[in-house]
């Protein structure tokens, strides 16, 4: 059975004191649920603290990005090996903000995926269309291309370390969510696309998360859909109460 996952993407929010606060509240109030994995992704500066602080708790720590190279003259960048050396074994790659603001291409993301997997990290790979692409009914093509270019060079065995996050760009931080039906439709499409390339077994084992304005009051109906295995949560992951209410939506 594939994992149910709720992952909090903090983006560029929370200094050290705020991180201590938020993690303290999450630790105090989290009621672990069988079969539901909880992940938090703080900024780089707080990853080590987060890992240490959550060491004895059932919460995993993820990075929000990383560089595709091993080491060297890449000012400002962080490698997979640096992340694993502080205990971080999961990384979010291809977030739409990285694609749009930092011009990360599918080709670059494929290299980052390889660097993560070479270091035995797990990847949360984000895909999703922009509003104009959905309006032009190109959303399935866009997502298929992102999957093909970013991930379809992998072997079937490597998919064990891959989680997909479907995040329609028009729903991120806008308060607008995809309807549960729109989410299910795309998640089923993603699973079918994976099954056509890798077979049904690989496709059935991949967790596919929905992201884009997930809140305590809409999580339950989105998570109830057959192919939705959880959420990648931005804004609502910054308040322990909201984040844990979303975890409890399962």
Whichever of 81 and 238 has its CB closer to ligand PGA, that residue is 238
CA-to-CA dists, residue 164 to 75, 143, 225, 242, angstroms: 29, 11, 16, 23
Max Cα-Cα span within the chain: 48
**Rule CB under 6 A: which residues touch ligand PGA?**
9, 167, 172-173, 211-214, 232-236
> For ligand PGA, which residue has the nearest CB?
234
Q: Catalytic annotation on 34?
A: no
CB 235 to ligand PGA: min, Å:
4
Contacts of 28 by beta carbon, 8 Å cutoff, 6+ apart: none
CA-to-CA dists, residue 212 to 69, 85, 135, 155, 156, angstroms: 30, 31, 17, 29, 28
Contacts of 84 by beta carbon, 8 Å cutoff, 6+ apart: 119, 120, 121
- The pair of three-digit structure tokens given for residue 63, joined into one six-digit string: 């990075």
CB 22 to ligand PGA: min, Å:
15
Whichever of 30 and 172 has its CB closer to ligand PGA, that residue is 172
CB 24 to ligand PGA: min, Å:
22
- The pair of three-digit structure tokens given for residue 134, joined into one six-digit string: 């959905």
Whichever of 133 and 167 has its CB closer to ligand PGA, that residue is 167
Q: Catalytic annotation on 226?
A: no
- As a dihedral over the C-alpha atoms of residue 111, residue 113, residue 115, residue 120, rounded to 10 degrees, the angle is -160
Whichever of 230 and 235 has its CB closer to ligand PGA, that residue is 235
DSSP bridge pairs for 126:
165
- Helical H segments across 72-138, by residue range: 80-85, 96-101, 106-118, 131-135
Whichever of 198 and 211 has its CB closer to ligand PGA, that residue is 211
The residues carrying an active-site annotation are 95, 167
């Amino acid at each position: 059975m594939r994992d149910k996952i709720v992952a909090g993407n903090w983006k560029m929010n929370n200094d050290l004191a705020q991180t201590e606060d938020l993690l303290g509240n999450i630790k105090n109030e989290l009621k672990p649920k069988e079969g539901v994995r909880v992940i938090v992704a703080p900024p780089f500066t707080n990853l080590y603290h987060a890992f240490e602080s959550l060491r004895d708790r059932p919460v995993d720590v993820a990075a929000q990005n990383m560089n595709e190279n091993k080491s060297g003259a890449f000012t400002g960048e962080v490698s997979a090996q640096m992340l694993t050396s502080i205990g971080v074994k999961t990384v979010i790659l291809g977030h739409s903000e990285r694609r749009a603001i930092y011009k990360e291409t599918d080709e670059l993301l494929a290299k980052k995926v390889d660097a993560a997997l070479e270091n035995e990290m797990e990847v949360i790979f984000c895909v999703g269309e922009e509003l104009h692409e959905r309006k032009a009914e190109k959303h399935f093509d866009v997502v298929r291309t992102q999957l093909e270019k970013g991930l379809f060079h992998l072997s079937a065995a490597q998919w064990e370390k891959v989680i997909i996050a479907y995040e329609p760009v028009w729903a991120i931080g806008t308060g607008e969510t995809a309807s549960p039906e729109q989410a299910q439709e795309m998640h089923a499409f993603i699973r079918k696309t994976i099954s056509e390339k890798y077979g049904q077994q690989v496709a059935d084992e991949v967790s596919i998360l929905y992201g884009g304005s997930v809140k305590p009051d809409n999580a339950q109906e989105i998570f109830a859909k057959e192919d939705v295995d959880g959420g990648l949560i931005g804004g609502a992951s910054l308040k322990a109460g909201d984040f844990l209410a979303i975890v409890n939506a399962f």
